């Protein structure tokens, strides 16, 4: 098997650490560079105590030395760098939000500043393989979706595309604390989140923009009106989205649409019963259930926010982009209970 030389920029965060662990075991990857602005010059073991690979973190990737750069840099940090990397001939798989939205005018609203490289947005492919697998092999720039948007889009796409979802859709989403990243903050302090659940960004979470963009592209004539409310729950990893909309057909017909839509998909599975987040934890799976309560459809989706919601999906996109089998490096056993 040929080996692709890869760099991971921002390898010291949760998504970066998870990605390094996956790529280290991928038979088609030579993990050539790990970078960290805060750990530059320090040994890998300062972040990865169990990683057998020897070496020190670089301050920044050296694009001429690699074939692909996985960027796990914070939002609004990697966009300008990625544009430069692309001009130097390397492919980029970006795990931040910098290239997910096609309209540059959306970035000031959701991310508080103008996009630093708006001319690059047209090159980006939204890295959700269930919807965009055909575009990924030719992509030079891949924008891996957010964790909430991944679970929510997958939960709703079959119904929206088939015209079987009512015009008003409500998404109630809950995430573990690792979704906020590794940086220290009051909002993820143990004393603040333990034994408590709370809603946040009630007036509009930034992942709503991705969710709206993708679902409207599936039903441009009748785009759904979305209400999205995220919640933080006191667990380390996992996302559960519960989606409500008017049932426009018998439940059996709606369920069949979901089974048909995801037939042959290696990582998205429709189950007969709702899944707990623990069933998807430490895997790249999205587990979906279609149910009904009175006139409302109730669709749930469970994922691991660090895998299918971030690093695992990045590897899935990498496999499609570089002509590997889609599940290479991602055959991870569920850890139940």
pLDDT digits (tens, 9 = 90+) for 173-220: 999 999 988 887 888 889 999 999 999 999 999 999 999 999 999 999
Rounded Cα gap, residues 247 and 294, in angstroms: 9
Q: What is the pTM of this model?
A: 0.97
pLDDT digits (tens, 9 = 90+) for 16-70: 999 999 999 999 999 999 999 999 999 999 888 888 888 999 999 999 999 999 9
Record the tokens describing residue 188, joined without a space: 């993820």
Picking from 32, 43, 79, 24, the residue whose alpha carbon sits closest to that of residue 12 is: 43
Taking residues 245-266, what's their average pLDDT? 96
Pairing, β 68-71 against β 91-94: parallel
User: Tell me, what's the pLDDT at 290?
Assistant: 98
CA 136 to chain centre: 15
Question: Is 257 among the domain residues?
Answer: yes
User: Tell me, what's the pLDDT at 37?
Assistant: 92
Do 261 and 186 reside in the same domain of the chain?
yes
Greater confidence, 80 or 171? 171
pLDDT digits (tens, 9 = 90+) for 114-162: 998 999 999 999 999 999 999 999 999 999 999 999 999 999 999 999 9
User: Tell me, what's the pLDDT at 200?
Assistant: 95
Do 116 and 156 reside in the same domain of the chain?
no
Taking residues 257-276, what's their average pLDDT? 97
Question: Is 334 among the domain residues?
Answer: no
Do 173 and 203 reside in the same domain of the chain?
yes
User: Tell me, what's the pLDDT at 316?
Assistant: 98
Pairing, β 286-293 against β 268-271: parallel
**Given the residues 147, 243, 286, 317, the one annotated as active site:** 147
Pairing, β 165-175 against β 141-143: unpaired
Question: Is 135 among the domain residues?
Answer: yes
Do 170 and 237 reside in the same domain of the chain?
yes
Burial class (CB in 10 A: 0-12, 13-18, 19+), 61: buried
What CA–CA distances, in Å, run from 156 to 128, 170, 260, 301? 14, 10, 14, 9
User: Tell me, what's the pLDDT at 333?
Assistant: 81
Taking residues 271-285, what's their average pLDDT? 96
Picking from 236, 227, 257, the residue whose alpha carbon sits closest to that of residue 175 is: 236
User: Tell me, what's the pLDDT at 80?
Assistant: 86
How many structural domains compose the chain? 2
Do 108 and 210 reside in the same domain of the chain?
no
pLDDT category of residue 303 using cuts at 50, 70 and 90: very high
User: Tell me, what's the pLDDT at 18?
Assistant: 96
Rounded Cα gap, residues 240 and 260, in angstroms: 22
User: Tell me, what's the pLDDT at 51?
Assistant: 86
User: Tell me, what's the pLDDT at 282?
Assistant: 96
Do 231 and 129 reside in the same domain of the chain?
no
Burial class (CB in 10 A: 0-12, 13-18, 19+), 138: exposed
Is residue 334 predicted with pLDDT exceeding 90?
no
pLDDT category of residue 76 using cuts at 50, 70 and 90: confident
Question: In this structure, what CATH number is given to the domain that contains residue 254?
Answer: 3.30.360.10
Q: Do residues 215 and 157 lie in contact, with contact meaning Cβ atoms separated by under 8 Å?
A: yes
Do 169 and 258 reside in the same domain of the chain?
yes
Q: Do residues 244 and 296 lie in contact, with contact meaning Cβ atoms separated by under 8 Å?
A: yes
**Which residues does residue 161 pair with via DSSP β-bridges, in sequence order?**
none
13: containing domain? 4-144+310-321
pLDDT digits (tens, 9 = 90+) for 85-105: 999 999 999 999 999 999 999
Question: Is 329 among the domain residues?
Answer: no
The question of whether 147 is a catalytic residue gets the answer yes
User: Tell me, what's the pLDDT at 149?
Assistant: 97
Question: Is 63 among the domain residues?
Answer: yes
User: Tell me, what's the pLDDT at 184?
Assistant: 77
Question: In this structure, what CATH number is given to the domain that contains residue 109?
Answer: 3.40.50.720
Do 97 and 206 reside in the same domain of the chain?
no
User: Tell me, what's the pLDDT at 233?
Assistant: 96
Do 66 and 173 reside in the same domain of the chain?
no
């Amino acid at each position: 098997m040929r080996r692709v030389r890869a760099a991971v920029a921002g390898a010291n965060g949760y998504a970066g650490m998870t990605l390094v662990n996956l790529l280290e075991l991928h038979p088609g990857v030579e993990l050539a560079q790990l970078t960290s602005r805060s750990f530059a010059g320090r040994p890998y073991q300062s972040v990865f105590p169990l990683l057998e690979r020897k070496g020190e973190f670089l301050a920044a990737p050296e694009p001429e030395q690699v074939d692909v750069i996985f960027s796990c840099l914070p939002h609004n940090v990697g966009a300008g760098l990625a544009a430069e990397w692309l001009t130097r001939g390397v492919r980029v798989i970006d795990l931040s939000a910098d290239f997910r939205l096609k309209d540059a005018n959306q970035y000031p609203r959701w991310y508080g500043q103008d996009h630093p490289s708006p001319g690059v947005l047209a090159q980006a492919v939204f890295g959700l393989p269930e919807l965009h697998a055909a575009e990924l092999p030719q992509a030079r720039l891949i924008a891996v979706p957010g964790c909430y948007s991944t679970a929510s889009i997958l939960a709703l796409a079959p119904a929206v595309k088939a015209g079987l979802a009512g015009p008003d859709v409500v998404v109630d989403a809950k995430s573990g604390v690792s979704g906020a990243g590794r940086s220290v903050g009051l909002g993820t302090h143990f004393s603040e989140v333990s034994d408590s659940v709370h809603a946040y960004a009630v007036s509009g979470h930034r992942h709503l923009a991705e969710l709206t963009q993708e679902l409207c592209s599936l039903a441009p004539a009748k785009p759904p009106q979305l209400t999205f409310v995220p919640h933080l729950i006191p667990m380390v990893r996992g996302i559960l989205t519960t989606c409500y909309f008017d049932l426009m057909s018998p439940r059996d017909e709606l369920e069949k649409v979901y089974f048909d839509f995801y037939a042959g998909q290696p990582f998205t599975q429709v189950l007969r019963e709702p899944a707990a987040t623990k069933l998807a934890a430490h895997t790249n799976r999205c587990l979906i259930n279609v149910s009904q309560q009175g006139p409302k459809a109730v669709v749930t989706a469970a994922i691991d926010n660090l895998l299918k919601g971030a690093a695992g999906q990045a590897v899935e996109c990498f496999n499609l982009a570089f002509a590997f089998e889609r599940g290479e490096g991602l055959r991870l056993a569920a850890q139940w209970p």
